[in-house]
């Protein structure tokens, strides 16, 4: 322990001395406000600490060798006000477009003859774009709730789509990505903002410029309505056009509930598994199994499928709990709440 203390002293003494900005900046004659110095290493906090707006203070106890007058000097530093982290718009839009491309590729595979305009000349996709778009929007206005798709699509598939869009927002918002389920305003605000992103994505999927209305040409005169059993053309009173209000409602609403549900499982089940074992395979399998939608969005974000920003940052042991004091031989990390 003594050897460790000497090595720690030698390591931190030069850093502490270099932090003195002026003779008036010391621990006796002036407070934190008089010391405009920058920290010598990065301190990362938990989501709660980051969202609370409270500073994290670093206090270093330095025992200078060979100078009796400074043997017990303490130097205090505050983390300077950093610019507020901004939402990563470019990355979020890119990931949303990637998700849209994957979904459209799946649908186009089955609907190619309509995408290429089987009833139009040359079989070119997007021919008569504006004419068909206006017809699709008119069909949607008069379509009612059901769009004619199987219930599994509307009540399961679209909520899953909404969760994926919500995760894209969260993983590109520095203020939200590390937040776990809690009763805090920061958590619920982040999930509300993610749901708004989800709703915007859903609107684009159904009615936007690269949507079912324009790519698949639902509701156009060239794609006539079909019967409830899927046969063409429609010969009954209950005809379907592929357009309906169900998707615009179920995607954000059910997606919000699904998102919170996965957060609850991650907080109370996955974390319990993490605390009970060090088996990485079991931990990673539990993460993927109980939060499957995040697997895909993690890959879009360039992360491992089981990645969790709240626990898998730059260092697994680099997080400081709010109000907790962690002591080592030569340094104390104290949250602002302790002061």
User: Is 305 part of any domain?
Assistant: no
For residues 224 and 234, what is the distance between their CA atoms, to the nearest angstrom?
8
308 touches 291 (CB < 8 A):
no
Query: Are 247 and 280 members of one domain?
Result: yes
User: Is 324 part of any domain?
Assistant: yes
Q: What is the mean pLDDT of each run of 10 residues along the chain (339 residues)?
A: 44 42 43 43 45 44 42 46 84 96 86 65 69 87 80 89 96 95 96 97 92 85 74 73 86 96 96 95 96 94 94 52 37 39
Which run of H or E residues covers position 192? helix 185-207
* Per-residue model confidence (pLDDT) at position 15: 42
* Per-residue model confidence (pLDDT) at position 217: 83
For residues 286 and 302, what is the distance between their CA atoms, to the nearest angstrom?
20
User: Is 311 part of any domain?
Assistant: no
For residues 22 and 9, what is the distance between their CA atoms, to the nearest angstrom?
22
Q: How far is CA 175 from the centre of its chain?
A: 9
User: Is 312 part of any domain?
Assistant: no
Query: Are 200 and 252 members of one domain?
Result: yes
**Residue 66's domain spans which residues?**
2-84+317-338
The secondary structure of 72-121 as a DSSP string is T-EEEEEPPPPPPP---HHHHHHHHHHHHHHHHHHHHHHSHHHHTTTTSG
Burial (CB count within 10 angstroms: exposed 0-12, middle 13-18, buried 19+), residue 318: exposed
User: Is 307 part of any domain?
Assistant: no
For residues 198 and 196, what is the distance between their CA atoms, to the nearest angstrom?
5
User: Is 310 part of any domain?
Assistant: no
Query: Are 163 and 213 members of one domain?
Result: yes
Residues 6+ apart with CB under 8 A from 268: 181
Q: Indicate the length of the chain as a whole number.
A: 339
* Per-residue model confidence (pLDDT) at position 184: 95
User: Is 269 part of any domain?
Assistant: yes
Query: Are 124 and 230 members of one domain?
Result: yes
Q: In the structure encoding, which two tokens stand for residue 82, read together?
A: 């950093």
* Per-residue model confidence (pLDDT) at position 118: 53
Q: In the structure encoding, which two tokens stand for residue 54, read together?
A: 């409270």
Query: Are 78 and 44 members of one domain?
Result: yes
Query: Are 8 and 48 members of one domain?
Result: yes
* Per-residue model confidence (pLDDT) at position 37: 42
Q: What is the CA radius of gyration of the chain?
A: 28
DSSP class of residue 127 equals: T
* Per-residue model confidence (pLDDT) at position 223: 78
Query: Are 168 and 251 members of one domain?
Result: yes
Query: Are 181 and 322 members of one domain?
Result: no
DSSP class of residue 269 equals: I
Q: In the structure encoding, which two tokens stand for residue 56, read together?
A: 């994290």
Residue 197: half-sphere exposure toward Cβ, Cα within 13 Å = 25
Q: Provide the number of structural domains found in the chain.
A: 2
For residues 62 and 53, what is the distance between their CA atoms, to the nearest angstrom?
29
252 touches 202 (CB < 8 A):
yes
Burial (CB count within 10 angstroms: exposed 0-12, middle 13-18, buried 19+), residue 247: buried
Listed residue (46, 41, 50, 51) closest to 319, CA to CA: 46
User: Is 308 part of any domain?
Assistant: no
For residues 298 and 141, what is the distance between their CA atoms, to the nearest angstrom?
36
Give the max Cα distance, the chain: 99
Query: Are 268 and 139 members of one domain?
Result: yes
Query: Are 72 and 95 members of one domain?
Result: no
For residues 112 and 125, what is the distance between their CA atoms, to the nearest angstrom?
9
Query: Are 51 and 128 members of one domain?
Result: no
The pTM of the full predicted model, rounded to 2 decimals, is 0.67
Query: Are 263 and 163 members of one domain?
Result: yes
């Amino acid at each position: 322990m003594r050897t460790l203390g000497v090595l720690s002293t030698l390591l931190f003494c030069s850093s502490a001395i270099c932090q003195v900005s002026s003779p008036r900046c010391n621990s006796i004659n002036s407070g934190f406000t008089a010391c405009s110095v920058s920290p010598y290493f990065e301190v990362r906090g938990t989501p709660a600490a980051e969202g609370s707006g409270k500073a994290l203070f670093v206090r270093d106890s330095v025992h200078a060798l060979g100078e009796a007058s400074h043997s017990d000097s303490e130097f205090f530093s505050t983390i300077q006000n950093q610019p507020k982290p901004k939402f990563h718009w470019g990355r979020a839009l890119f990931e949303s477009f990637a998700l849209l491309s994957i979904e459209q590729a799946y649908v186009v595979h089955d609907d190619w003859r309509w995408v290429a305009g089987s009833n139009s000349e040359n079989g070119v996709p997007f021919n008569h774009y504006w004419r068909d778009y206006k017809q699709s929007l008119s069909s949607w206005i008069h379509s009612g709730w059901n769009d004619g798709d199987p219930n599994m699509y509307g009540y399961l598939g679209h909520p899953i789509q909404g969760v994926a869009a919500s995760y894209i927002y969260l993983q590109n918002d520095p203020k939200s990505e590390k937040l776990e389920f809690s009763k805090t305003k920061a958590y619920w605000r982040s999930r509300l903002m993610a749901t708004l992103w989800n709703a915007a994505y859903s609107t684009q999927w159904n009615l936007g410029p690269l949507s079912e209305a324009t790519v698949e040409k639902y509701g156009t005169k060239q794609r006539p309505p079909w019967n409830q059993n899927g046969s063409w053309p429609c010969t009954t009173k209950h005809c379907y056009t592929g357009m309906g209000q169900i998707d615009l409602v179920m995607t954000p609403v059910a997606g919000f509930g699904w998102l919170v549900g996965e957060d609850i499982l991650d907080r109370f089940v996955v974390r319990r598994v993490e605390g009970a074992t060090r088996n990485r395979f079991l931990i990673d399998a539990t993460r993927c199994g109980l939060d499957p939608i995040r697997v895909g969005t993690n890959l879009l974000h360039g992360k491992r499928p089981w990645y969790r920003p709240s626990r898998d940052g730059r260092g697994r042991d680099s997080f400081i709990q709010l109000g907790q004091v962690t002591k080592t031989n030569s340094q104390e990390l104290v949250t602002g709440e302790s002061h």
